[in-house]
Amino acid sequence: MTSSASIKDLAARFPGDFLFGVATAAYQIEGAVREDGRKASIWDAFSHMPGRVVNGDTGDVACDHYHRLESDLDLMAGLGVNAYRFSLAWPRILPDGVGAINEPGLGFYDRLLDGLKARGIKAYATLYHWDLPLTLAGRGGWTDRDTASAFAGYARLVTERLGDRLDTIVTFNEPWCSVYLGHLMGVHAPGERSIEAAMAALHVTNLAHGMGVQAIRSERPDLPVGIVLNAMSVMAASDSEADRAAAQRANDFHNGVFFGPMFESAYPDAVLDGCPDLRPHVRDGDLETMNQPLDFWGLNYYTPLRARNDDTQPFPHVSVASAVRPEKTDIGWEIEPAGLSHVIRYLYDRYELPDLYITENGAADNTRVENGAISDTMRLDYIATHLSVVADLIDENYPLKGYFAWSLMDNFEWAEGYAMRFGLVHVDYQTQTRTVKQSGHWYKALLAAHKAS
């Protein structure tokens, strides 16, 4: 896919109004964690705990985007992207999660949005990308029902103050991660390992989503609103009846607990039965609140989940089977482009869903700088093959409207710290020098060809 002819051919497969963008998240790039009134988030606290993040890395400085906003916007414009997907830092805007507004924090996002508008780049904002204000965590965080109300207030404020320059707004990014990685597996903030906590956080998050959508629509009914889900592409490890049943339970546990409430006003029966800690949280009216009409949803896809029946494991009684394909990214994830079409076909067959954006897709490719250049051919091939799958799905009339590469630039990769590089642009964390990688030059050429076609 590297020749100019193949770039032109691939670009021609996308509709003229298809959006090509890049994505980032606030804690991963901004830095400036103690500046201009911002208070700590759960990730500030978590990353400073010994042993939680590779090499003890933190987001204290990250990509120093807070101080390099204009040059980073120029970098995006130079790539020719149509849209930028970013997140707002809740503790930068409302340092305690509720209460006093931090005007300097809002001012940063004012400058960001004005800068995007000046460069003709659409603004795709996410309200929550895992950086819960630490003050709210002290009250129970996502296990506390009051956090849903706090989130709705935050959503209303952002929509009121910034909504005039947003093209879309998303409530949550990958609630699977903040719920399960944060409260069940303990590898993300706040670092709990409790099915009781996970079920509480699941329900409060779903409730916060519904209340957040209501708050957004109350301020700006015309602003397109959605959610971003890292729906698991669950593939049975074999054709055996046991593994197929395990794959369905895994779908219920990983996907159905979000898609069910949000699109059908119901949790999967298998999860209610298999996780008895969930049912007591459900109050009258909750499921109706969660099921708010959405204008779109976003899918983040990287790798499939191959499910094998395992009765020795807790519900959903699944173990992760070995990869089928030998190709892996540098983080160890199997490269399986067919997983992208698999999960989209499954979800559109199972639920009534609105328009779709691929809101994250990319590869950890840690290719180093040599002679001032980065030949990250694995990432380039990964993005090209997955974009080809997107084009196939458009040909099949799936309502795919855009693609956002993860990520604009190398950044703080959560529990992996700075050990994994997902960027189209290389960041030297010592000097903060940005260098466009081969994949970034390829993406730029693709976007230019799309605009010309």
Kindly list the catalytic residues. 174, 360
**Burial call 253-292: b when 16+ CB within 10 Å, e when fewer:** bbbbbbbbbbbbeebbebbbebbeebeebbeeebbebbbb
CB distance 218 to 156 below 8 Å:
yes
CA distance 240 to 170: 39
69-79 vs 438-452: helix crossing angle, rounded to 10: 60
User: Given CA atoms 279, 281, 283, 288 in this order, what sign does their dihedral have?
Assistant: negative
Distance CA 141, CA 97 (A): 10
Please state whether 397 falls in left (phi above 0), alpha (psi between -120 and 50) or beta. Answer: left
Q: Which residues pair with 297 in a beta bridge?
A: 227, 356
Q: Phi and psi at residue 210, in whole multiples of 5°? A: -65, -45
Look at residue 282 and give its three-state secondary structure: coil
Q: Is the CA virtual torsion 138, 144, 149, 153 positive or negative? A: positive
CA–CA distance, 48 with 40 (Å, rounded to integer): 11
H or E stretch at 23: strand 19-23
Which residues, in sequence order, are CB contacts of 398 under 8 Å at separation 6+?
Answer: 344, 348, 356
